[in-house]
Amino acid sequence: MQSYVNLHNRRKIIYGWLLLSPAALLLTTFAFYPSIATLWASVFSRGTRRKPSKFIGGENYADLFSDPTFLLVVKNNLIYAAATIPVSIIIALSMALWANSKLPARGFIRTAYFTPTVLPMIAAANLWLFFYTPGFGVLDQIGSLFGFQSVNWLGQPETALWAVIIVTIWKEAGFFMIFYLAALQTIPPELKEASDIEGAGRWTYTRRIVLPLLMPTTLFIMVNAMINSVKLIDHLFILTKGGPSDASKLILYYIWEMAFAFFDAPHAAALTILVLAVLATVAAIQFLFIDRRTHYQ
């Protein structure tokens, strides 16, 4: 009997490892190994044929913090994240609440909101060039009707980053709306009926019942929005290429530039490790502390 139990437990362990092996293989190949290899590359100098790379410890990291371009890029990314994350979430929640209500053209409204999401980022950037082009763009054409002068939205440091931010909000709000819409449809209708019986208005029902029940979804969206805020690179190639004067350059574009334009892989690896460390820390804080306030248990 004991041998049968041991054999049964052994089979369960083997079966469990067989279920885990595909995910473990993919994570090891595309996440764990690249992260370790990047960390290893970040502590070596840039090698050449005559001068091979050597171990230098944290010098690459020290170089980054003394680089004014790096500090400017970090500032740009902080502004970008502070603008895109809350605005995208607020717009997405507003669109989801409206699209979930009883409207005659509810399907069309949902499709219209979600359409920007399915567009490739390159196509969306080219589309927005028709808005931002000086003299011929839609924004300048509308401004000329009211006597405003032409503005080079993408060509001056004061407006370039904000022009990129607007494109990102337009692109991501519809994507986040889908998560909110799915979460809204899981709220039992009995709660709305009970609030009506109690005489609660629409705003009270939304504030006291809907928004607390949507907090797990909001946390999930916040983590995704935070990750998206440091992985933008596609439409920077089309809109600004990080200019003018690095005014719209963001972290991932700077990493690409160091690695493939300047061929400085060690500093690019060091910056990548810093980004991963910051993302991991912020995500851990969100899930360990904020997550406790988002579920009713």
CATH of the domain at 158: 1.10.3720.10
At CA 64, angle to CA 60 and CA 69, rounded to 5? 145
What is the three-class DSSP state of 44? strand
Question: Per the structure block, which two tokens stand in for 88?
Answer: 């995208």
CB atoms within 10 A of CB 113: 21
The Cα-based distances of 283 to 82, 143, 201 in angstroms read: 16, 42, 36
Does 33 fall in a domain? no
Does 187 fall in a domain? yes
Does 37 fall in a domain? no
Does 9 fall in a domain? no
What is the rounded average pLDDT of the residues 186-213? 83
Q: For 287, which DSSP code?
A: I
Does 171 fall in a domain? yes
Given a cut of 50, is residue 105 above it in pLDDT? yes
Does 22 fall in a domain? no
Does 132 fall in a domain? yes
Q: pTM of the predicted model, to two decimals? A: 0.86
Containing domain of residue 184, as a range?
63-293
> What pairs with residue 13 in β-bridges?
none
Q: Give the pLDDT of residue 8.
A: 67
Helical packing angle, 138-145 and 121-132, nearest 10°: 30
**Domain count within the chain:** 1
293: burial class by Cβ within 10 Å (0-12, 13-18, 19+)?
exposed
Amino acid at 73: V
pLDDT tens digits for range 240-288? 988 888 999 999 999 999 998 888 899 999 999 999 898 888 878 877 7
For residues 242 and 249, is the Cβ–Cβ distance under 8 A?
A: yes
Question: Per the structure block, which two tokens stand in for 129?
Answer: 């060039």
Given a cut of 50, is residue 297 above it in pLDDT? no
Does 32 fall in a domain? no
